[in-house]
């Protein structure tokens, strides 16, 4: 299995986001990862659905939109309409995770659920029938450039076992470098979100190749 790379535009040049999206698309990105933060659920504010809509014409790749916002349900339709392909909500962001996932699926989008570092795999045991993607945070969400939390490798492995033969992608976000990427893939991850590791130096294609283990 070839690991998928989802460059996080949180680390891109915000003054030229459209160009940056086109550049990582051309360089071989599988997904375009969009981090949405509200200054409430996480200690930072980034972008909203208007920016997703503005970026949509710049790439046909899957827009992997990670909603780090609370409450999340009122905003899901706007992000769906803006052109998101995968909409990921946090297990911790609301009282009714099943309802949030139903809403995403009802809008014809792929539903993802994200787990913060302190959240156990069991938090999603009873919603796996509605999930297309599980996102493991290997840093505490809110800022790019943090160090990888090694204790999350066991969680990735546990989730891989829990998913079993289900067609659910297992994604990892936070502190991804070529070294930590290899560990995550060994634990069972199939999609890697990378910000600094992709955008931190000019050769985006080479940076993504390094994250794939040089392949």
Residue 203 annotated among the catalytic residues of the structure: no
User: Long-range contact list for 69-74, CB < 8 A, 24+ apart?
Assistant: 69/36, 69/37, 69/38, 69/40, 69/41, 69/93, 70/38, 70/40, 70/41, 70/94, 72/100, 73/99, 73/100, 73/103
The half-sphere exposure of 177 on its side-chain side, counting CA atoms within 13 A, is: 9
CA distance 16 to 83: 19
Catalytic residue among 30, 35, 73, 132: 35
Is position 98 annotated as part of the catalytic site?
Answer: no
Which of 30, 64, 73, 173 is labelled catalytic?
173
Q: Which residues pair with 7 in a beta bridge?
A: 194
Which residues are marked as active site? Answer: 35, 173
């Amino acid at each position: 299995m070839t690991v998928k790379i989802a460059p996080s535009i949180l680390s891109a040049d915000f003054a030229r986001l459209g160009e940056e999206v086109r550049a990582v698309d051309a360089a071989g990105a599988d997904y375009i990862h969009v981090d949405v933060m509200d200054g409430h659920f996480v200690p930072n504010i980034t972008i909203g659905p208007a920016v997703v809509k503005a970026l949509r014409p710049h790439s046909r790749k899957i827009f992997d939109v990670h909603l780090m916002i609370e409450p999340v349900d009122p905003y899901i339709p706007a992000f769906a309409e803006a052109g998101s392909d995968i909409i990921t909500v946090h297990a911790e962001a609301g009282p009714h995770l099943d309802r949030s996932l139903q809403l995403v699926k009802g809008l014809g989008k792929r539903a993802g659920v994200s787990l913060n570092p302190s959240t156990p795999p069991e938090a999603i045991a009873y919603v796996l029938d509605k999930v297309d993607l599980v996102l493991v945070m290997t840093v505490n969400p809110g800022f790019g450039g943090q160090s990888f939390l090694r204790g999350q490798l066991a969680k990735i492995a546990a989730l891989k076992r829990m998913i079993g033969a289900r067609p659910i992608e297992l994604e990892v976000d936070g502190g991804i470098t070529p070294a930590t990427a290899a560990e995550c893939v060994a634990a069972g991850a199939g999609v890697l979100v990378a910000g600094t590791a992709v955008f931190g130096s000019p050769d985006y294609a080479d940076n993504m190749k390094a994250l794939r283990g040089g392949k």
